[in-house]
Each structure stands twice: as C-alpha cells, then as structure tokens.
Structure 1
Amino acid sequence: MPHPPMFDEDDPVLGRLREITLQLPDAAEKVSFGMPAFFTTKVFTYYGGLEKVGDGHVRHLTSMLVVADPVDRPALVEDPRCYHPMYLGPAGWIGFHLTGDPDWSEVAELVEASYRLTAGARRVKRLDAHSP
C-alpha cells in the first residue's frame, strides 16, 4: 500500500527547494514514503523528515534531509536548526529546518554537498564544468 502524500504541492518552501535541487545535473523528483525526494541514481535530498523523540517521533514537514559532508557534520549536529533524522541519521544524513526565513544560499550549499556525495564522479564533473 503506497504512503499517502504528506506535502502540499503549492508549498512555497518546497517550490524554492525544487528550484535548487532540480538545477543540478540529471536531478529528478519522485515521491518516496509520501514525501518529495530528489535524486539522480541515489536520493540526495528529501523534503520532510522524522525525528525520534522518547518512545515516539516528531514529523518535521518543513525541513529537508541531506547527506552531510563529514567535515561539516560536527557543526551541523550542534546547530539548533538541525536534527538527527530517524532511519537515515546513522548513515550520515542530517535534518535541516526550513521554517521561518531560511538562508537559501546555505540551503543550496547543503544540497550541493549532498549531491556531490551521492551523484557520482561524472555528474560532479558536469556540475563543476558549469560552476562559475
């Protein structure tokens, strides 16, 4: 049984995240477990996530999950805008809240770092060829 959609197609935060993710070489979008997922051959960003709290969980609908660059991960873990997502956290993923007025250039940097860690050398080379 497929998961029901857990997002609003007209969500402006999701729209801005789409602009950032879908400009990357060969990036596409699919719905995974009811949430938007951006991928090439592997997912590099999810919109929305879960955090384990006590015996339950908290759903963070206006957030993203990205694979954190190992160099940046310690600082992100300490950042109050971040959380340790259920299931993917142990594999190096980090949750990042997009509520309020997020710094979209920082969001783009986190998305690009996640893309670089998952997209493969050929796509990263294409990304670098088009970067200023």
Structure 2
Amino acid sequence: MTPSFDGQEMLDHVRRACAGLPEAEESVDGFGHTVMKVRGKTFIMMNPNEETPGLSIKSDKEQQYLLLQQGGYVRTPYIGQHGWVSLDRAAEPDWDEVAGLIRTAYLLAAPKRLAKAVLGSLVN
C-alpha cells in the first residue's frame, strides 16, 4: 500500500526530524505501523496509509497534559495512559513544534549515553 500524499508528507517531516538522532531506526511493526525506535524502544508510531494519516509521539504525562490543553493533540488510544499523544487529525500540524516533540520523545526512549550525546550537540 502506498502512503497518501499527506501520509508521505508526514513521513518526510518525521524522517527529517529523526535524521540526526543517533541509532534512530525506522521499521514496520506487527500492526503495520511505521515506527521510529532507538535501541528497540519505540518513540514514534505512524500510520501513513490511512486516508487521514496518524502520528503518535511518546511523551510524559506532564507534557501530555500541557499539549492536550494547548490543542492540536489528542490522547493516543490504548497507550495514552503512558503519556503518548497523537496529532489531532482535524488540526493542521505545526511541523516545527512536532520536530521538537520528536526530539523530546527520542530523549525519553534513548539510553542515557545517547541522550547525553544529543543534548551535548544542542548546547554546542
């Protein structure tokens, strides 16, 4: 199945945001979702092949609360109790903000050594 135009656009944005993240890998999980992982831990889940593509991002509960209050995000079904958020499919995404959330999601999932390397590169 080929991703829709919107799904391909979403994939392109996510791939660009993950390009500089050490050991970030893209794969397809058992449910057919395109996922981004670091050392086996998922930090992004996407379904680019739906008519309206979906993007879910790992976060903590505090950040989830703030994003839900802000709008443009919804609690991810089934895993939202762990802090995950999804883009509200009815809203136009702010891709710069999403790129920042992707970096934060990576930091939550990455081993400390990799997270320190990314944080160090942001400071320098």
Q: Which TM class, normalised by the smaller chain length?
A: 0.7 to 0.9
CA contact (8 A) 2:72 2:92 kept: no
The amino acid that maps onto 1:74 is Y
**2:3 matched to which residue of 1?**
8
Structure 1: give runs of 5+ residues left out of the alignment: 50-58
Once residues 80 and 9 of structure 1 are traced to their aligned partners in structure 2, the CA distance between those partners, rounded to angstroms, is 25
Once residues 48 and 25 of structure 1 are traced to their aligned partners in structure 2, the CA distance between those partners, rounded to angstroms, is 23
- Cα pair distance change 1:92/1:64, threshold 3 Å: same
Alignment of 1:28 onto 2:25: yes
Report the Cα offset of residue 116 of structure 1.
1.0
Structure 2: give runs of 5+ residues left out of the alignment: none
How large is the Cα RMSD of the aligned pairs?
2.6
What is the TM-score normalised by the length of structure 2? 0.79
- SS at 2:61's partner residue? coil
Identity level (%): 25
Once residues 101 and 89 of structure 2 are traced to their aligned partners in structure 1, the CA distance between those partners, rounded to angstroms, is 12
Report the Cα offset of residue 75 of structure 1.
1.5
**2:36 matched to which residue of 1?**
38
Once residues 39 and 129 of structure 1 are traced to their aligned partners in structure 2, the CA distance between those partners, rounded to angstroms, is 21
Report the Cα offset of residue 77 of structure 1.
1.9
Q: Figure out how many residues of one structure are paired with residues of the other and give that number.
A: 118
Once residues 68 and 60 of structure 1 are traced to their aligned partners in structure 2, the CA distance between those partners, rounded to angstroms, is 25
* 1:1-132 paired onto structure 2 within 5 Å: 8=3, 11-32=8-29, 33-41=31-39, 42-48=41-47, 61-97=52-88, 101-131=92-122, 132=124
* Structure with the higher strand share, 1 or 2: 1
CA contact (8 A) 2:60 2:82 kept: no
Structure 1 consecutive aligned stretches of length 4 or more whose deviation exceeds 3 Å = 97-101
- Cα pair distance change 1:90/1:43, threshold 3 Å: same
Once residues 89 and 69 of structure 1 are traced to their aligned partners in structure 2, the CA distance between those partners, rounded to angstroms, is 10
What is the TM-score normalised by the length of structure 1? 0.74
